[in-house]
Structure formats: structure tokens, C-alpha cells
Amino acid sequence: MTFVKPAVHHKRLEKNALGLTVRDYEGALSTLCAGCGHDSVTAAIIQAFWHLSIAPHRVVKLSGIGCSSKTPTYFLREAHGFNSVHGRMPSVATGANAANRELLYVGISGDGDSLSIGLGQFCHAIRRNVNLTYILENNGVYGLTKGQFSASADVGSKAKRGEENRQQPIDPVMLALTLGATFVARSFSGDKAQLVPILEAAFKHQGFALVDVISPCVTFNDHVGSTKSYMYTREHYRELVEADLVPLRKPIEADGARAATTQVRMHDGSLVTLRGTEPGYDPTDRDRVYMRLREIAKAGEIATGLLYVEEGGADMHEMSATTETPLVEVPFEELCPGAAALDKLMSQFR
Amino acid sequence: MQPTDTRDPDYYHRVVDCQWACPAHTNVPEYIRLIAQGKYTESYMLNRRSNVFPGILGRTCDRPCEPACRRGRVEEKPVAICRLKRVAADLKGEVDHLLPTAPAEKNGKRVALIGAGPASLTVANDLMPLGYQCTIFEALPKPGGLMRTNIPAFRLPAEVLDTEIDYILRMGVEVRYDHRVESMRALLEDGGFDAVFVGTGAPKGKELDLPGRREGAANIHIGIEWLEAVHFGHVERIGERVLVIGVGNTAMDCCRSSKRLGGKDVKVMARRTRPHFKASPWELEDAEEELVEILENHSPAEFLIEDGKLVGMRFELVEWYEDESGRQRSRTVGRKDIPCDDVILAIGQDNAFPWIERDIGIEFDEWGLMKVDKKTFMTTREGVFVGGDAAWGPENIIWAVEHGHQAAISIHRHCQGKPLTDRPPNALELTSSKMGLHEWSYASSYNPKPRVKMTHVDLAARLREFSLEVELGFDPDQTALEVRRCLNCDIQTEFTAKSCIECDACIDICPTSCLTMVENAEEPALRKRLTVPADNLTQPLYVSAPLPQTKRVMVKDEDVCVHCGLCAERCPTSAWDMAKMDLKIPHAK
């Protein structure tokens, strides 16, 4: 068994603006099951960070508990990391983000961690619009406890031993839309061509960005009858919006063959080009997106793409009117001016 | 592209770069693994099967395998394949009981082998066990040919040579020493042989006919003749200032021998620049280590004679440029006289067949070489075969060995009255190396250690004693390091398209970015479309059948795969397997 991925790499591997190869963005060798969708999501995260030339030490990766929550170990070994309590990643991320708003936050969670034990946390992080990319590795089962249905299992989906799920699923995409999330996407671990640009746009988004990724559990939920298998996902996959991120300072080339329907300028000035695959779909119109997604779900299809985006909304820091300077950089005396200052403040409320 | 046919033995054979590059197709990865396991005897015998002289070649081979070695593309330097071969030979145990033997009852066929060099010896090695009676005719008093007379003892000790030649001769080969064949016609008409093999090498050193050549003859030597004279003790000294003309491997042996026979200021004079030198890089390095000076861009013009004696050489200084057609051309930019006591000419070798009559059905080409069939090694006269340097001019030992193997197949078929062109094909056997979950029967992990440097004996000591072997060979610790550098290219990445669920695991894990799932296209377009574009056109692409779910294809660029097995370890459906290749290369039987 191999425990360490050898450092040897292709001599002609491309380097990014920081002079790093994609291999420099890796972490430890995965101990998840061979063929797990999560590993493929990990690889997509690595590619997105590399492609955007983001310095690994400027990134904070956080997770809760579950197979999905192991994955931060497998990318960006030089980033900051926090493995929190089950379902509590959003509050840790919120706290970290409050302390240092200048780092890039990426939270990795799963359908159990987000939709069962952590559902409340998930909702409130959206409400607060924490500047965080929230990747939900969604496989419809509790893989770590041997394959019980999770809260995202579809009605009628079959477990490995044949029983059918009868409870209604929680769809994180619909939930996020109703809660007012400003960036909502769904993708598939087996389609990096779609997933990587979505992740790049999510990293650039100012505010909470949900990326729900169908990430098949190869051990407990990749059989005939499952609605979250590789095969089922590929057969019922409908890409509604193609996204392309044009990073800042890169010339924007017009692609004559495929007319861009919408362009969204991200907080840092980079541009996301969104191409609807069906006429009339507007990824900036929350109500109509919601309606169309319901129709597609009813038809038994899986809508994917950068489904909804709203740039320019106030994130947690703006809403709270915190200082522009990250709190970690504010001198201690200013941050904690002492008992006298506190008394003075308190006296204003008497 | 069409799906790759991995059942064609050549496909996976090509992946094993060293074995593919070796003229005799020595199973390098397997013999290195055997060394790693301490099975030196088994490793030696595996080597011997294809290259017949592991001890000799482990010291002297021109190593076509090493520039081909994948390790050289993955990092800086290839695996020290050649020196590991020597380890197997040095540390082997008893092999007598494993060597081929000749049956007591002969098959009644007699074969004449002319010249006791590596080609003829290989033919005898292959034919004796089949019951042939082989007779070798050798002009000199000892066997070995140029392996003995042209490779100085400090590179190849006589005992090694004697031992490995004896493994063949002891089967009962008749050798007629000091017997120069003067007439092919007589041999063919009166010898009573069923087949004749010409393995006489390219024994004539090239001449340099410049002014002063005749006057200075006493101090102007032909390289290979001079080396032979040194070997037999006819020459024991050389002047203090020596110029060696030419920069091939013979020149290296001449200059290093000169250093041991009294030469103090020894210079190798080259017309061209270093990248165009014929000598192997390591032989150049070894000569320079012995303080031989190698001068570029010196074109010999004249031998300088004073009072009837050689006093130096005049050179034209040249510089090189490219003409319109892209060919390298030289122009003279000056002249230089270099004083010297002796000159050794090592500018190449020619074949010489004055003893073969031109009217006995053996046709010659315009360069004075016999017309030889590239596959069967037969001349235009049925029953007369040629191999080694005698066939197409100077090559090296390993080529002579392979010629010998092929000629032996032909001779055997000829003697059985079977068509020579109908030759036994290579066969491929693949066996999974899977031993359990994520367990392989080979050391799969990549070892990043750099190439182990060969230890040489002290400079003063080696110049004092002519036959002191310079290279000490790898000790067990050095061996243990070097064997782990082999990438096990013969453990093939075998893919079964119908099992693939397209989860990307193999692509994500591959450390050298060899794999891509992509829409199929013609090769040039496909090469550009890969994870890392496959720019090395000498390395093939593996293309699978269409994949079940998306109808894309799995493409593997064989170029820098380190055979670490991670694709197979991370594959949930065992669509990837690490399968050990056993290539069955037929010899005469």
C-alpha cells in the first residue's frame, strides 16, 4: 500500500503566476475509499486554487465530521486548517472570518454534516452571508457509518441492500435559494470541466457561496437503483448554466460561437461569464431560477451549473460594519482598551 | 485513434525502454529485481539467456539501454543498468549446473564459425545444446576476438573473459587456434560443413594518408593493432607525448593505455565538437579523470618529420557552421603544430575479406561488405551466414550477440530444411501482480535517490599497474540503492475499459500526470489534449476502447509513467491492474 504520493512529477508541468505547479497545491494522500467522488472534488479544488494562482498560505480550509470532512487534509498542505465538531464548521468559519477577513475561506462539508446535524448552522451562515465557499459533497448516504440514507436521499432511491427511501429529501440548493444565498451552484465530481470554473467563481464571490457537488459514494451508493450513482447522475444531468471565470488582468476574449448571456463582475474585478443552455434562464433572477429548478427536479433531472449569482450584496463584515483592518492586525491595546474604557461604554447605556 | 492493441507483444515491449533499446532485448527490470532480492545467480542466468556475456558486458557494454531508460526522462540520470549487470556477475554463486549443456548424441550437422569473437561464440552457445558440432577457426592463439585484444585489461580483466567464454567452449566446441582461414572456397568445398558463419569482425584500422605518414611510420600506430600488440605484450612503452587521432571508444582505450605505458602528456584530437564525439560520455569522463586532454576542432593536416623521425603533427583549426541545407560544415580558421613522440590513429575500422573469393556465390556491395539479409543474416550463398561487425561494419558487443542469436535461428532452420524467413514470433504473457488490497508483488513506491556513482581505484595506483581494474563495481550498499531506482517498467498498467466508472481517481492520483479521459481524436490532436500535452513523439499513447458511461476514451501517455501502481490502487473497479509482462523472445530451439 502506498501512503505517500511520490513527489516526482512531469517535467513539463505548467506553472502558475506564483511559479507553482498543480502538485504544489496537493495535501496528504487520501485514505478515502478508492474511487470516492470526494477525491475528485479535492482534485478540482486543487486545480481551481492553482489556476487562480492563490497562495496556499492565504487560504483557510475548515470542515466538520464525515467522509467529506476528511478532505481538507488532501489539498493545500500549506493552508490553515480546522477540523471542527460535527455540523459546527459554519460557526468556526464565521469566527475565523470575523477575526481575519483577508484570508480566503473554504469549508468542506457533506450531506450529513450540513443537512442533518448541522442544518441550523448551515442556514445561519447563509443568513449572515459569511464570506465563505461552502462545498457540500453530497452522496445521499452516511458513508462513514456504512451507508444509511442521509437527508439528501431522494424518495425512491434504493440502498445497497434494496430498501427504498421514503422520506422527502432536503435539497441544499433550494434551501440556499430560499434563505437568500448570493451564490448557488450544483455540480458533479465526475465533471471537472464544469466544477473547476464554478469553484473559481465561488472563491472570487464576496459572501456565502454554496457549491453542492454530487459526489458518489463508490462503496455504499453506486449501485443500480441509487439516484446518486455515477451512472444515474450522468444519465439525469442537465447543465443549465455554463460558467467561465476570467480572472482580473486577463484580457477578455469574445467567444463568437457561443453568445454570453450574462456577465457578472466579481468583487475583485474579475468577470464570470454565464451561458444559459436554455432560452430565458436568467441566473440573476432568484424567483425564476427557483421555479425552473422545481420543474427540473419534478422531471427527475439534476440541474447543474452556476445556478444563481448575485454579486455586490453585503457580507457579514459589511452588515456588522466591522473595521476594514482584519481584527488580528488591530493592536491589542486598541482591540481591548481596558476596564476604564469598558466602564465608559457601559455608562452610555445606563 | 483506434484502441491500442496491447496483445501485440511489441506494444508493452516498447514501454520497457531499456529492453526495447537493447539489441538482445535483455529483460532488464526483472534482472534488477532479482538483484534487489539478492538472487544474483538467477539474475546472472536471466541476463545470460539474452546477452550471453553478463560479466563482460557489465563492464564494457555500449549501453544503448541507459540513454533510453525512462528514469532519464523522469529525473536527471538513468538507472546504472550496465553496472548492475556486473553486480550480478560479480556476486553470483555456483552456475555450473545451470549452464546449457550439449547432448552426448549429436544431430549430425556440422557448423563452421570463423573468428572466435562474441558473434561466433553466441552462435555456438545457441547451437551446441541442440546437438550441433561447432568448429571455430581463430587466427589468434586465444578466443574472444576484439573483446580480448581491443579492450584493455584495466577495463575488462582476463579472468572474466576466460570464464564466460569457457561456459560456451566447455560444451565441446572445437576451436582451431592460430588458424587463419585463407580461402572461403576451400572451406566450403572441402570442409564438409552444413553451414558457415562469418564472425570475423572489422579487424582493419583505418589509415590516415597524410604527408609524412611513411617517414614517421615507426611512431605512428594504428589504434586497434597497437592495442592488440599491447595485449600480447609486444608493445610495452610509448613516448611521453602522445597524440590520439579520433574520439571514439577505441581512442579512449588508446589514450588510457598510453597513460599506463609511459605517456605523460596524452591528447585526444577531435575534428568535431563534443556533442558529436562518438565515444560514450562515460568513457570520455573516465579518460579525462586520468588527465587525458581532449581537444576539439583540430583537423589533422600533416605529420611533422625531422631527420626522418616524427616530431609532431600539424592541425588545421576548424570552426563549424550550418549551410543552407542545414548540414554541418567546417571552415579552416588557422593552423597549429603540436609536438609529440607518438601518434595513434583511432579513426575507425574497416572490414576486410580478402579471403573470400568473389566467384563463389557470395555477393559484395560497393563498400566491400557482403550482401546480408537483415533478418536472416544469410549471404547470397545459401548456408553462409554473417554476424557481428563483419555484417554491416563496426557496432558493439551486444549487437554481435544479437546477430549471433538470429544467425543461430537461421542456421538451425537451414539445417532442418525450413524456410529462414518464417521465424518464431515473440510471445507475451501478462500476470497480475496484485497480492491483495493495495499490495503488489513488486516494490511499487518511487525512490527519489540520485544515481549511485561508481567508485574508481586511486589514480596513481591504476597508472602504475596496467591490468588493475579501474572500476571497483558496486558494493552491496550501493547496489541496494541503485536497484530501487528502477521504475519496473515491465509491470504494465493494464486497463479494462468496460470496468471503468469514470470516477477520475486514477487521473487525480497519477503523480506524473500521464492519464486523461477525453473525447477521442486523431493522434496529433489527442496528444495536445492531454493533461500534460504529449510532446515526446517517440513515446506511444495508449488509447482505450470507448468508456461505458460517456464514450470518452482513457488515454495514457507512456512517456513518464513511473509504474508506481497508484492508478490501480485508487481504482475502485480494478479497471487498472499492474500486470507483469513476460516477453518470450525465442532463440534457436
Residue A313 has pLDDT above 90, yes or no: no
CATH class of the structural domain B100-203+351-415: alpha beta
Q: How many residues can be counted in chain A? A: 350
Q: Which of A264-273, B60-69, B391-400 has the lowest mean pLDDT?
A: A264-273
Residue contact B570–A11, C-beta within 8 A: no
Encoded amino acid at B532, one letter? V
Q: Is the dihedral of CA A122, A125, A129, A134 positive or negative?
A: negative
Q: Using a CB-CB distance cutoff of 8 angstroms, which residues of chain A are in contact with residue B574? A: none
Residue contact B512–A9, C-beta within 8 A: yes
CB B50 within 8 A of CB B28: no
Helix (H) or strand (E) holding B185: helix B184-190
Residue contact B550–A234, C-beta within 8 A: yes
Cα separation, B544 vs B556, in Å, equals: 9
Please tell me which of the candidates A6, A8, A190 has its beta carbon nearest to residue B504.
A190
Same fold, B100-203+351-415 and B205-348: yes
Q: Using a CB-CB distance cutoff of 8 angstroms, which residues of chain B are in contact with residue A10? A: 512-514, 532, 560
Please tell me which of the candidates B508, B532, B566 has its beta carbon nearest to residue A2.
B566
Q: What residues contact B434, with CB distance under 8 A and at least 6 apart? A: B440, B441, B568, B574, B577, B578
C-alpha cell at A139: 452522496
Query: Strand pairing partners for A245?
Result: A272
Q: Using one digit for the tens of pLDDT, what is the confidence trace for B532-550?
A: 999 999 999 999 999 999 9
Residue A254 has pLDDT above 50, yes or no: no
Is the Cβ of A7 closer than 8 Å to some Cβ of chain B?
A: yes
Short-list B88, B102, B99, B98, CA closest to B57: B88
User: How many percent of chain A have pLDDT more than 90?
Assistant: 82
Q: Using a CB-CB distance cutoff of 8 angstroms, which residues of chain B are in contact with residue A6? A: 445-446, 448, 511, 562, 564
Confidence bin at A280 (pLDDT 50/70/90): confident
* Mean predicted confidence (pLDDT) in A204-210: 96
Q: What is the pLDDT of residue A275?
A: 77
Is the Cβ of A11 closer than 8 Å to some Cβ of chain B?
A: yes
Q: What residues contact A278, with CB distance under 8 A and at least 6 apart? A: A240
Cα separation, A112 vs A97, in Å, equals: 24
Structural domain spans, chain B: 100-203+351-415, 205-348
Superfamily (CATH) of domain B205-348 = FAD/NAD(P)-binding domain (3.50.50.60)
CB B3 within 8 A of CB B543: yes
* Mean predicted confidence (pLDDT) in B333-347: 96
Encoded amino acid at A136, one letter? L
Is the Cβ of A62 closer than 8 Å to some Cβ of chain B?
A: no
Cα separation, A26 vs A43, in Å, equals: 8
Cα separation, B503 vs B32, in Å, equals: 35
Residue contact B505–A39, C-beta within 8 A: yes
Residue contact B512–A36, C-beta within 8 A: no
How far CA B259 is from CA of B226, B246, B252, B427, B454, in Å, comes to 14, 17, 11, 49, 21
Short-list A280, A241, A279, A278, CA closest to A263: A241
Residue contact A234–B437, C-beta within 8 A: no
Q: What is the pLDDT of residue A157?
A: 95
Assign a CATH topology to domain A22-320. Answer: Rossmann fold (3.40.50)
How far does CA A242 lie from the centroid of its chain? Answer: 17
Cα separation, B21 vs B8, in Å, equals: 18
Short-list B112, B116, B110, CA closest to B200: B116
Short-list A56, A57, A111, A114, CA closest to A84: A114
Alpha helices in B484-569 (DSSP H): 505-509, 523-528, 566-569
Cα separation, A34 vs B574, in Å, equals: 10
Please identify which residue in the block is written with the cell numbers 580558421: B333
Encoded amino acid at A157, one letter? S
Residue contact B509–A5, C-beta within 8 A: yes
Substitution target in B504, B527, B576 with the highest count of A β-carbons within 10 Å is B504
Q: Using a CB-CB distance cutoff of 8 angstroms, which residues of chain A are in contact with residue B528? A: none
User: Starting from the edge strand earliest in sequence, which strands make up the sheet with B241-245, in order?
Assistant: B220-222, B342-345, B241-245, B265-269, B293-295
Please tell me which of the candidates B438, B507, B511 has its beta carbon nearest to residue A9.
B511
User: Strands B204-205 and B133-137, how do they pair?
Assistant: unpaired
Q: How many residue pairs from chains A and B have C-beta atoms closer than 8 A?
A: 101
- A12 → chain B, closest CA residue: B532
* Mean predicted confidence (pLDDT) in A201-227: 96
Q: What is the pLDDT of residue A251?
A: 45
Encoded amino acid at A201, one letter? A
Backbone angles phi, psi at B520, to 5 degrees: -65, 155
CB B121 within 8 A of CB B143: yes
Confidence bin at A269 (pLDDT 50/70/90): confident
Q: Using one digit for the tens of pLDDT, what is the confidence trace for A86-137?
A: 999 999 999 999 999 999 999 999 999 999 999 999 999 999 999 999 999 9
Confidence bin at A47 (pLDDT 50/70/90): very high
Is the Cβ of A34 closer than 8 Å to some Cβ of chain B?
A: yes
Q: What is the pLDDT of residue A258?
A: 45
Cα separation, B353 vs B184, in Å, equals: 10
User: How many Cα atoms within 13 Å fall on the side-chain side of residue A346?
Assistant: 6
- Transcribe A242-296 into DSSP letters: EEEEE-TTSPPPP-TTS---EEEE-TTS-EEEEEESSTT--TT-HHHHHHHHHHH
C-alpha cell at B65: 539501454
Structural domain spans, chain A: 22-320
ipTM of the complex as predicted: 0.90
Confidence bin at A247 (pLDDT 50/70/90): low
Q: Which of A14-28, A109-123, A278-292 has the lowest mean pLDDT?
A: A278-292
Q: Using one digit for the tens of pLDDT, what is the confidence trace for B117-141?
A: 999 999 999 999 999 999 999 999 9
- Judged on CB neighbours under 10 Å (0-12, 13-18, 19+), A250 is exposed
Mean model confidence pLDDT for chain A: 91
How far CA A84 is from CA of A316, B328, B360, in Å, comes to 21, 69, 92
Q: What is the pLDDT of residue A267?
A: 81
Substitution target in B438, B444, B508 with the highest count of A β-carbons within 10 Å is B508
Residue B583 has pLDDT above 80, yes or no: yes
* Other CB atoms within 10 Å distance of the CB of residue A11: 12
Residue contact B572–A37, C-beta within 8 A: no
* Mean predicted confidence (pLDDT) in B399-406: 97
Residue contact B505–A35, C-beta within 8 A: yes
Cα separation, B54 vs B87, in Å, equals: 9
Residue contact B438–A2, C-beta within 8 A: yes
Short-list B117, B49, B53, CA closest to B85: B53
Residue B437 has pLDDT above 90, yes or no: no
Is the Cβ of A40 closer than 8 Å to some Cβ of chain B?
A: yes
Residue contact A8–B505, C-beta within 8 A: no
CB A228 within 8 A of CB A38: no
Q: What is the pLDDT of residue A255?
A: 43
Encoded amino acid at B510, one letter? C
Q: What is the pLDDT of residue A272?
A: 82
Q: What is the pLDDT of residue A252?
A: 43
Task: List residues of chain B with CB under 8 Å from any CB of chain A.
Answer: 73-75, 437-439, 444-446, 448, 501-505, 507-509, 511-514, 532-533, 535, 549-550, 560, 562, 564-566, 569-573
